[in-house]
Structure formats: structure tokens, C-alpha cells
Chains A and B, each alone.
Chain A
Amino acid sequence: MAKKKLKVRASGKKGYAVIKAILFHPMETGLRKSKETGQVIPAHYIQEVFVKHNDAEVIKVNMGIAVSKNPYLSVEVDGAEKGDAITIGWLDNLGESASADVKVS
């Protein structure tokens, strides 16, 4: 099975859902030097994260190099009820992307 790129959970509350996600990513800043070679390690980090509720985009998160490795993200969506579809997708500076769909539980 392919390595998991993100882990998402959407919990239904009264009138809204709390979405918590971990996006698996090195979030390399491009400002570090390799200890062995002395070369700068190229930047490789998530830049954009999309959160959709029943296919409509509700939140767009823009990230920079200061977000920690394996970014943790928690957001909340009004009107999201049990059974609704939540999608989170990310896109990084090298064009890599991944997404996951979950139902509000």
C-alpha cells in the first residue's frame, strides 16, 4: 500500500464539525545545510491546503517554511453534520500533492 500522505478526522459537534489533520511532509525550509555534504538542502514544503465540505471549498490555508514538519492543522466548519463529506488536499512547492476524504463522524 502507498505511504500515507495525510491523516484526517472530522468530528461532528452541535452545528459544526472540527477537522483535525496531520499532513505527512518534511517541510524542508531550504535554509538548512546538510551536515555531511555542506550543501543546502533544497526547500520542499506544503504551500497550499484546501478544505472542502460536501465538495465546496470552505477554507484555504497557505503555508510557508515556518510550519513544522508533518504539519498539524485544525479548523472548524459551520453547518457540517454527521455523514457529510470532508476533503483535505495539499500541494507543495515541487508540485506534489495528496488528498483524503472522510465523513464527519
Chain B
Amino acid sequence: MTQTVSEDTQVEDVESFRRRARAWLAENMLRLPPEPQHSVRRVEYFADADDRQARHRVLQRQLFDGGFAGITFPREYGGLGLSAAHQRAFTEESVVYEMPGLFNIPTFSICGATLLEFGTEEQKRRHILGMLRGDALWIQFLSEPTGGSDLAGLLTSAVRDGDEWVLNGSKIWSTGAFHADWALCLARTNWDVPKHRGLTMFIMEVHQPGVEIHRIKMVNGSMEFCQEFFTDLRIPHSDVLGEVDDGWQVATRLLFHERNAVGGGSTFVSGRDNVQGAGPDDYLLRLVDVSGRLDDPVARDLLGEAHTLKVVEAQIVDRISRAMRTGVMNENAASILRLYRGVMSTRLSTISLDIAGRGAAAWTDDDAAIGDVGMRFVSRQTSCIGGGTTEMARNSISERVLGMPREQTGDRDIPFKQVRRNA
């Protein structure tokens, strides 16, 4: 640890921090309007993603100026250097306020966490503050069109040219690349060694010559996912994160942070993130109410089931996070949380659909919230695919938590250029 604690720094206790946060939030942030009785609200608050990201940058800057940004980030890079308990207290207090949730994943909890681990002093000083001030949204350039789960089999190439690297290839499934500022990009720098040993992680500016971004329309109409095309994109050597050809180690930690964030276990997440299908605490109760089924034991059973799954999620996140922190479990246990959330979210989506009944099939503008239930069900599997599929999580749990035999592969210990692959 390089972190030093100066003499005059006294750590504020959690309750005092909570009280200060409560007062500050009430004074400075917009309180979300209470739900009108007998209604459910739509999950999306913004007409489009551009409005949302612009608003979230402003909100993040407000948090920063108010001294409540980067609660668990080290002080020397602009954070508060406080504990996970302080972060939890702030999140609890902030639930009823409009928060810049867009920054949580991947900017803080995945890219920020990885930068803290592998960045040089200069890289950390240059980039962490920008995140916390709301100036820079980050994304990951990992997956490629030729394969999602087999990340180490990626084909984007980076060739050294003096003090620069020249990248060619394509990335996909980056969320909101069009409004992001910086990215962590994994590329192949050596084709003569087995796949895991020839990768390098780069820090790159998203908008620059040589990068072309296409937006992808998803089934629910969302245009947030993107595909990028790199043509002779030039990146300075000083933007290599970690060591050349050692990018898999960086990626492994990045994926850990991703699983942890997607599973709800990250300490860098500030404010509540939206779980697909979960909604606010009483969302399903309202859905039962507006569907006129408060006296229907079937609907009440579904309501009880949904509540059980959500309460147990918080309990298992707490347990596994604690177990990883104390070393009782290794960090692959984050896959258990990723799997739980994926399975829970799909079930909650189905439960919502069953509660909404025929309202989810056709609706007026006035019951758009019930109509959303059907739309969200159509894209239900998002929660089991995005952030690493639940199948990969099951591989990780069985092989790396339970120690069961690894799957057979056709590319182990073979120079990557000889491995059979998709064109």
C-alpha cells in the first residue's frame, strides 16, 4: 500500500457522515416525487440516453463539489478514502434523490477500480479525478463480434510503432460509447504465444481519428449499445495499462470488478443502481394494486416470492462480499452474486408479467407503465447475458469455487495464430 494517512486526518464515523449526507442531500439534490397512489411509474425517466448522460454529469459534479463523490476512492486521487460502511450509509440516504447512477457501472466500479489497481501514479492522477468530477464517462472495449464469452480469443490487433501503438479491429456491446470519453481497450499485441499471453490493455480516448461508432438498436428500442471500428487508430505507449502482453492479468481483475458490480457487491457504486425488473421497493405492490389484484392470492403469492428473492439478494451480497473480504472465499465467489442477480432478475421480470396480466399485451398512454412490463419481459435475458453470461458464471463457480474439472479447450498452449477461429 502506498497510501499514507496524514496526521490531521481523522476518519469521520459512519453515523456522523450519514447525518451530514442527509442534510446535504436535502439541501442540494432533487427529491424524487413520491409515487402517486394507485399507479406505477415508467422505469425510464429520460426521453433519450443523451439527455440522461448530460444530466448525470451535472449531478456528479454537484456531488463532487459538495464533498460526496468517490466515497471509497483514495483521497490522493480526489476521493474521500472512507469505508464501504460509509458508502452504504450514503446510498441509503440518497435513495429518494435523483442520483448520477450512470457513473456507477462501468466508470467507477469497473474502470476506476481497475485503474486504481494497475495504473501508474501518473495515470491515476490524470484520470480518477475526472471521473469523480463528472467530466469523464468511461466504458470498456472488450467483446468483439467474433465472440463474447471467449474474451481472450479477441482479434483486434495492436502493433508497436515507435512511441505509439496502431490498433485495427472492432469492438461491440459497449454501452453508451457515443457519449463516453475514455475507454479501457484490450487488444492483441503478440500472435506467436498462446492467447492469454499476447494481450495488452490500453487506455484510450473514445472520440478521435480512427474510431467509428455505430449504435445498435435493441428489441426494446434502446440505442445504447454500440459497435466500434478501429482503423489505424494511434495510442501513445504511455497509455498502456499494466505491462505489454500482460493485459490478461488486467482483464481478469477488470472482469472480477465487473462481476462484483453486476452482482451488486462493489463498494465503488454510489446510490442505488437500477436492477432490471426489480424497480423500487413497492413497485410490484403497486403493480398488483393497479392491476386490481390486491385480493387475489395468486398475485399475493407472486408478490411474496418477489420480495423473498430481493431480500435474499441483499443478504447473499452481504455474505459473499464479507467472505471475499476476509478470505473465507476466493474472489471467484463474485460469480455467485452475478448468477443470483441474473436468475433473480429474469424471475422478477416473469413475475411482473404475470401480475400485469393482459395489461402487458396492449395499453393506452396512461398505462404505459404496465405496458413496459411486457416490453421488459421480451428483453428479459439481458440480465443473464450482459456483464458475462450466467453460463460463464456457472463455469466459474463450478471450476474456480468448487474445483471441478475445467472444460476442454482447443486453444490451450497453442500459439494464437494457429488457433481455429471465426473470420
B is bound to A? no
**B residues touching A (Cβ–Cβ < 8 Å)?**
none
**A residues touching B (Cβ–Cβ < 8 Å)?**
none
